[in-house]
Amino acid sequence: PHFEPVQLALTALLSTHVARKFKNAHPGPLLSVLASTSETPYIIWRPGCRAELLSFVETMRARDAASPASAPLDEARGFSAAATAEELVVGEIYVGVYAADP
């Protein structure tokens, strides 16, 4: 089902391209991306990105342990990994990566 707050949070945490993979009934493509290192015009996913995301999620989980039903979606939408924070994004494309290898 379409639930916009969750979609927006996943997009901020993972990128639009990766977040879309959650719609697939088969998790293989999503898990493949998350378990690998990738730098394409659509995905920038490195070990540092993974570590930052895990740290952010652990911090939110520990902080909100008192109220397990809560989901800090607003805070998730504000997340930005250092690897992508400075990247110019146009139409879901990381312009710097595209320009380096069109």
> How far is residue 68's CA from residue 54's CA, in Å, rounded to a whole number?
18
The pLDDT, as a whole number, for residue 4 is 86
Q: What average pLDDT does the chain have? A: 87
Query: To the nearest whole percent, how much of the chain has pLDDT over 70?
Result: 92
Q: Please compute the mean of the pLDDT values over residues 86-93 and round it to a whole number.
A: 91
Residue ranges per domain, the chain?
Answer: 4-100
pLDDT tens-place string over residues 5-55: 888 889 989 998 999 898 888 999 899 999 999 999 999 999 999 999 999
The CB density around residue 17, as the number of other CB atoms within 10 Å, is 19
Q: What stretch of H or E contains 19?
A: helix 16-20
The pLDDT, as a whole number, for residue 61 is 82
> pTM for this one?
0.79
